[in-house]
Amino acid sequence: MSEHKAHGGKHHGFAHPASVKSLLLVFFSLIFLTWLTVFQSTLELGSAELVVSLFIATIKATLVILFFMHMLHDKPLNAIVFLSSFIFVALFLGFVLMDAHGYKDSYEFKNVDSAPKIVKTTE
């Protein structure tokens, strides 16, 4: 804000340029985690597969948010605003899934495009 800041070159005012090193480190971590998630999909993890892949995706998302989106150096208000959206997403998905199996019947296969033949053959 003061005059000398703009012309000094050393000070960047309210700008906090990320270091090239940290950007590259985050990028290669993200590539490694992508490889890891592809690798884990080849393992026979059964029902844990979804949890593991979502866990890896969440680590990647955290890295992107903290470093690429600079949340680490951002104002707390911005972080609260953004992260609060996930509370509402959790509420949304949570409430929908909570009673999903209560109306499972309406989600049975309709055989929309099938000839009656198929239904007969299979049942």
Partner 1 sequence: MTSHAHDSHDAGHGHGEHGHNPFLAHHFDDPEQQFDSGKLGIWLFLVTEVLFFSGMFCAYALYRSLHPEVFTFASQYLNETLGAFNTGVLLFSSLSMAWGVRCAQLRQRTGLVICLAITLGCAAMFLGVKAIEYTHKWDLGLLPAGEYISQFLQPAHHAGISPWLYYLSAVPALCVLGFAAWYVVAVTTGQKRTAEVAGPLLVTALCYFLGVFVGIAFQNAEAASKAAEHGVAEHGVAEHGVAEHASVAHDEGHDHAGDERDDVMLVSHSDVPVVPGAPELAAVDQAGGAGVFFSIYYCMTGVHAVHILGGMAVLAWLLVRATKDHFNEEYFGPVDYVGLYWHLVDLIWIYLFPLLYLIK
Q: Is 61 in the site for partner 1 (CB under 8 A)?
A: yes
List, in order, residues 6 or more apart from 67 with CB less than 8 Å away. 18, 22, 23, 26
- Token pair for residue 97? 């899934």
Chosen residue from 16, 48, 51, 72 binding partner 1 by CB under 8 A: 16
CB of 51 to partner 1, least distance (A): 11
CB of 5 to partner 1, least distance (A): 8
Q: Is 92 in the site for partner 1 (CB under 8 A)?
A: yes
Chosen residue from 12, 48, 72, 102 binding partner 1 by CB under 8 A: 12
Q: Is 32 in the site for partner 1 (CB under 8 A)?
A: no
Q: Is 98 in the site for partner 1 (CB under 8 A)?
A: no
One DSSP character per residue, the chain reads --HHHHHHSS--TT--PPPHHHHHHHHHHHHHHHHHHHHHHHS--TTHHHHHHHHHHHHHHHHIIIIIT-GGGS-HHHHHHHHHHHHHHHHHHHHHHHTGGGGGGGGS---TT--HHHHHHH-
Which residues contact partner 1 by CB under 8 A? 1, 5-6, 12-18, 20, 23-24, 26-27, 30-31, 34, 37-38, 41-42, 44, 49, 53-54, 56-57, 60-61, 64-65, 67-70, 74-75, 77-78, 81-82, 84-86, 88-89, 92-93, 96-97, 100-101, 104, 107, 109-115, 117-118, 121-122
